[in-house]
Structure 1
Amino acid sequence: MPLLQIDSLEKSFGGLKAVKDVSFSIERDEIVSVVGPNGAGKTTLFNLLTGFIKPDGGQIILDGRRIEGCNPETVCRAGFVRTFQSSKVFPHMSVLDNVTIGALSRFNDIASARREALSIFDFFGSRLHDYSDRAAGTLSWANRTRVEIARALACRPSLIGLDEPTAGMNPAETNEISELIMKLRNEGITVLVIEHDMSLVMRVSDRIVVLHHGELLLQGTPPEVRGNAKVMEAYLGNGSSSTAN
């Protein structure tokens, strides 16, 4: 049984069909990326899956449980947690407190949640430990992204959704985040990524889902997507390192 099964998902805004009959699945321990140009429906799909908007039709089944129409807290408790393209850290709170908030989804007391947050820091090496007492809003964009991922991990998800995790990063920072994504999978966490950096997508993904005007154009492995003439022409340009806009 797939960890996440999406069947005939639909969402309209007025007369605009943002997501049209989209179906695909994600197996456990996979990294799946969703790509497509602006207006393809990626963000709407992400918001549908994580409970921020309700679908007009279709099913979303997470680990055997239907979650379409559930609120974000319920989806989180079911095991699917997301980050955001725009930083959602609490800027005036410390890094440790930011991650502790995530752990409070599983623990009823601050002391236990704080211990959990500190254990999550170990996943990131020295980076977050070094900044634990600093206000999250003072960190670089890349480190704020790490804080968001750490806060999501503190919820102990089975599936984590990363919304353009390398937006605004330089090549070195992007490479570090790509390594982090693969490390998540190696730790037994399934990963769903929305990303414009196609070099990263091709490097980390087991499968790629391509959206076009809200519809599923293609899903396949990186070589299958790279070798598809329609996708290459519409989204990827002339090489796998291109960026879909």
Structure 2
Amino acid sequence: MTENHYQKHLLINNNYFTGNIMSDNKPESFHSINSPEHLPYNENMISEKSKNEKNMLSIQNVKLQFGSLPVLDNVCYCFHKNQVYTLSGGNGAGKTTLFNVISGFLKPNSGDILFQNRNITKLPPYRINRIGIGRTFQDLRLAMHLTALENVLLASSHKMFEHYTEEHLEKAHHILNRVSLEDKANACAGEISYGQQKLLTLACLLANNAELLLIDEPVAGIDKSNLMKIVDLVSELKAEGKTIIQIEHHPDYIVATNDVLIKMENGKIIC
């Protein structure tokens, strides 16, 4: 995506956000959170809807408490295939906690998580990853002493001390090229710029070809050049049929990538 194309894309979407919400000029790819297909479930609809072949992920009455403090409060939502969702809300709204529950790092006190109609609520994180859910973290979680190439190879491994073949190496180089890091393949992750580290986390995310991608603040703190690379990458991933749920606050990035905006507050989805 060229800069002019990017600016035009922002302008088209901006016209929708600032104009009449019933305008016929809104982008075809953008769906209001209030449209019927994206309304949060009520309790009687969940079982029937979870069988719908459009569903990628169903969150069913999920509750999580830390002591007496509710962190997720009866969260119900269905994420459809091949859409880009953005979770918004202030600190403590429950966004990253929801990611942690979906990816298995936290277990809810009650409720269920269904991925492609399979209940994954009790699965450990590594199994959730292997069946098709990948994620990034705000704190990057890169092996800073390893090279960019080695980080991608490590992310693609399913076994300890796996022997890497030429096929593994070719795939890793392809992924690095895709995120504009091929020239940094042999540089240590700790020695590249912060924006490049963000791109490397996305390269690691792509390494095992997950269908559902959970991306936590992909463009926070990076420059415009790397932001545009991530905009292009997210657009490409959607075109390939991936489903993306992201947490992000950058308004231009959200406008350029988002299909459905979800607001969270006090552990609840409010709109």
The TM-score range, normalised by the shorter chain, is 0.7 to 0.9
User: Distance between the aligned counterparts of 2:191 and 2:96, measured in 1?
Assistant: 27
Task: Compute the displacement of 1:106 (Å).
Answer: 8.2
The aligned residue for residue 188 of structure 2 is 135
Give yes or no for contact 1:96–1:132 (8 Å, CA) kept in 2. yes
Where in structure 1 are there 5+ consecutive unaligned residues? Answer: 219-245
What is the count of residue pairs matched by the alignment? 216
The Cα of 1:41 is off from its aligned counterpart by 0.6
**CA distance in 2: counterparts of 1:41 and 1:117, whole angstroms:** 34
Partner residue, 2:47: none
- 2:98 & 2:267 partners in 1: Cα distance? 9
RMSD: 1.6
- Larger radius of gyration, structure 1 or 2? 2
Identity %: 29
Residue aligned with 1:182, SS: helix
Q: How does 1:186-205 map to 2 (within 5 A)?
A: 186-205=239-258
Contact 2:84–2:246 (8 Å) recurs in 1: yes
2:175: which partner in 1?
A: 120
Per-residue CA shift, 1:135-174, capped at 9, x if unaligned? 0111111111111111111111001111001111133332
Asked if the contact 2:134/2:214 (under 8 Å) is kept, the reply is yes
Is the Cα–Cα contact under 8 Å of residues 12 and 18 in structure 1 kept in the other structure?
Answer: yes
Q: What per-residue deviation string (whole Å, max 9, x for no partner) do you get for residues 62-88 of structure 1?
A: 112111132110110110010111121
1:230 is matched with none
The separation in 1 between residues aligned to 2:163 and 2:117, in whole angstroms, is 30
Structure 2, unaligned runs of 5 or more: 1-52
Aligned to 1:87: 140
Between the aligned partners of 1:149 and 1:186, the Cα distance in structure 2 is 17
* Cα distance in 2 for residues equivalent to 1:188 and 1:143: 25
Structure 2 counterpart SS, 1:44: helix
Q: How far is the alpha carbon of 1:45 from its aligned partner?
A: 0.6
Counterpart of 1:109 in structure 2 is 163
Whether the aligned pair in 2 keeps the contact of 1:105 and 1:155 (CA below 8 Å) is no
1:17-32 to structure 2, matched below 5 A, reads: 17-32=70-85
Deviations 1:101-134 (A, max 9, x none): 122138953114323212323423xx22100011
> After TM superposition, where is structure 1 displaced by more than 3 Å over at least 4 residues in a row?
106-109
